[in-house]
């Protein structure tokens, strides 16, 4: 969340930022509650001062009638203080909730807008493949090679779930291990994170665990939720701590399952594996000093590029517009891979995101570091190394051959043990 002092001193800038993100956050309500909180705090201080004077007078007073009156006044003051403290606590909580609804400040270079067309392409890698046949989409390829079963999963779990089968299972594991090896080379501490987090940790990282806008499955009566991304569990890793950044950023990589409700996510580009309720992902997370976070964002983006460049997947880099940044991000870059089966003639589809959340998450989670004898809120960043289903879409569609077989990128062969998927395994 933003610093209340910053909001007070930069009202117009904060309001312009909210408008630029096309959100309805109420900055004036924050200011009203802040003023109300301060008035209540001042009232309590005055009531306590009067109570102390009353107590001192009682200690000196010997007249029974006067003393009785002072005792009565003391009781009234105590009741007034208790009532004011309750109001102060309620107002403070309301203020905190109002501040949490204010988005992070957008980077000045982030494109302003709210639609996909408003984001800005800033680079490309690789040649879009040219086929001498009509390319299939990943659903056709997976059906022909018996790699994915949506129908059985719908019967067992519901729509947008799936069974991976045969070589697709090995590719899932291969992609995860491939990404983890690259991150290990870049000095990330690799982890397998819990798939469940406390609701306050999810909220602290900027995800709404409850409400109509939530994309998260909550576990009723437990105060916990299934994570939509390991950003939540990696962001909570240092919650409430003063961390040591004297030797550079803390870099964590997390392998986890991810669970997303994906409510209202229907559409032709949401078919198949592109938008599902459960998937495997390897996430990057970094804790940095304030002055290092912009540089670290570029490093995360470079690692994402390395992963997809070595896979031989054509991609483009997109600087995401302000209206699509979400609450925590100051700036976000997406990698969009070419997907030949997307639409009529192929199209780009998001496969990774890298975001700088500055100190927005750290303020909510209480994560600080020491600098020149003082503590400062850390900056946090996150980036997708591999989201397996979308990587599978890219591999299948870009590696397809006319006979329906699929070539496997050379870098994955040591992990999966095969160079192609040629023949469908027995259908069960």
| Residue 394 bears catalytic tag | no
How many Cβ atoms sit within 10 Å of the Cβ of residue 295? 11
| Residue 426 bears catalytic tag | no
Per the CB < 8 A criterion, the answer to whether 358 and 290 are in contact is: yes
Q: Measure Cα distances from 350 to 32, 285, 338, 378 in Å.
A: 41, 19, 9, 28
| Residue 390 bears catalytic tag | yes
Q: Can you read off the two tokens belonging to residue 319? A: 């600087």
Out of 32, 67, 275, 316, pick the active-site residue: 275
Per the CB < 8 A criterion, the answer to whether 204 and 179 are in contact is: no
Out of 21, 37, 203, 260, pick the active-site residue: 260
| Residue 260 bears catalytic tag | yes
Q: Can you read off the two tokens belonging to residue 185? A: 């080379």
Per the CB < 8 A criterion, the answer to whether 185 and 208 are in contact is: no
| Residue 353 bears catalytic tag | yes
Burial of 278 (0-12, 13-18, 19+ CB in 10 A): middle
Out of 353, 355, 364, 394, pick the active-site residue: 353
Out of 37, 390, 394, 397, pick the active-site residue: 390
Out of 350, 364, 394, 397, pick the active-site residue: 350
Q: Report how far residue 424's alpha carbon sits from residue 140's, in angstroms, rounded to the nearest whole number.
A: 12
Q: Can you read off the two tokens belonging to residue 294? A: 């912009």
Q: Which of 395, 341, 349 is nearest to 174 (CA)?
A: 395
Q: Can you read off the two tokens belonging to residue 177? A: 């291990």
Going through 330-403 in order, the beta strands assigned E by DSSP cover 331-339, 347-356, 368-371, 374-377, 379-387
Under DSSP, the state recorded for 219 is E
Q: Which of 374, 351, 339 is nearest to 304 (CA)?
A: 351
Q: Report how far residue 15's alpha carbon sits from residue 75's, in angstroms, rounded to the nearest whole number.
A: 45
Q: Can you read off the two tokens belonging to residue 201? A: 């940790």
DSSP, collapsed to helix, strand or coil, labels residue 405 as coil
How many Cβ atoms sit within 10 Å of the Cβ of residue 385? 29
Query: What backbone phi and psi angles, to 5 degrees, belong to 147?
Result: -105, -30
Under DSSP, the state recorded for 357 is -
Q: Please list the active-site residues.
A: 260, 275, 350, 353, 390
């Amino acid at each position: 969340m933003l610093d209340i002092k910053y909001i007070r001193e930069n009202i117009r800038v904060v309001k312009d930022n909210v408008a630029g993100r096309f959100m309805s956050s109420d900055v004036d309500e924050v200011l009203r509650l802040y003023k109300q909180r301060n008035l209540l705090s001042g009232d309590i201080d005055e009531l306590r001062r009067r109570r102390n004077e009353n107590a001192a007078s009682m200690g000196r007073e010997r007249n029974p009638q006067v003393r009785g009156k002072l005792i009565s006044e003391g009781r009234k003051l105590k009741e007034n203080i208790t009532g004011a403290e309750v109001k102060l606590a309620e107002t403070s909580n309301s203020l905190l909730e109002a501040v949490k609804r204010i988005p992070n400040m957008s980077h000045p270079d982030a494109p302003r807008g709210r639609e996909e067309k408003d984001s800005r392409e800033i680079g490309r890698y690789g040649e879009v493949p040219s086929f001498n046949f009509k390319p299939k989409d990943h659903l056709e390829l997976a059906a022909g090679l018996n790699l994915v079963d949506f129908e059985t999963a719908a019967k067992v779990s519901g729509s947008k779930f799936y069974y991976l089968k045969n070589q697709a299972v090995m590719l899932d594991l291969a992609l995860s291990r491939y990404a983890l090896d690259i991150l290990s080379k870049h000095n990330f501490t690799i982890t397998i994170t819990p798939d469940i987090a406390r609701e306050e940790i999810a909220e602290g990282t900027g995800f709404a665990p409850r409400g109509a806008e939530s994309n998260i499955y909550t576990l009723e009566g437990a105060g916990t939720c299934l994570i939509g991304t390991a950003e939540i569990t990696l962001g909570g890793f240092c919650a409430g701590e003063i961390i040591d950044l004297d030797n550079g950023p803390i870099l964590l990589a997390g392998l986890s399952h991810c669970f997303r409700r994906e409510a209202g996510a229907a559409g032709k580009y949401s078919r198949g594996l592109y938008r599902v309720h459960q998937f495997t992902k390897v996430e990057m997370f970094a804790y940095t000093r304030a002055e290092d976070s912009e540089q670290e964002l570029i490093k995360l983006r470079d690692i994402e590029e390395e992963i997809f460049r070595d896979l031989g997947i054509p991609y483009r880099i997109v600087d995401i517009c302000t209206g699509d940044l979400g609450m925590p991000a100051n700036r976000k870059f997406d990698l969009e891979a070419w997907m030949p089966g997307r639409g009529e003639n192929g199209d780009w589809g998001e496969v990774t995101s890298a975001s700088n959340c500055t100190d927005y998450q750290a303020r909510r989670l209480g994560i600080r570091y020491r600098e020149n004898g003082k503590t400062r809120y850390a900056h946090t960043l996150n980036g997708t190394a591999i989201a397996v289903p979308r990587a599978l879409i890219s591999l299948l569609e870009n590696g397809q051959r006319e006979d329906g077989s699929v070539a496997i990128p050379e870098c994955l062969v040591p992990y999966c043990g095969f160079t192609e998927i040629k023949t469908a395994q027995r259908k069960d």
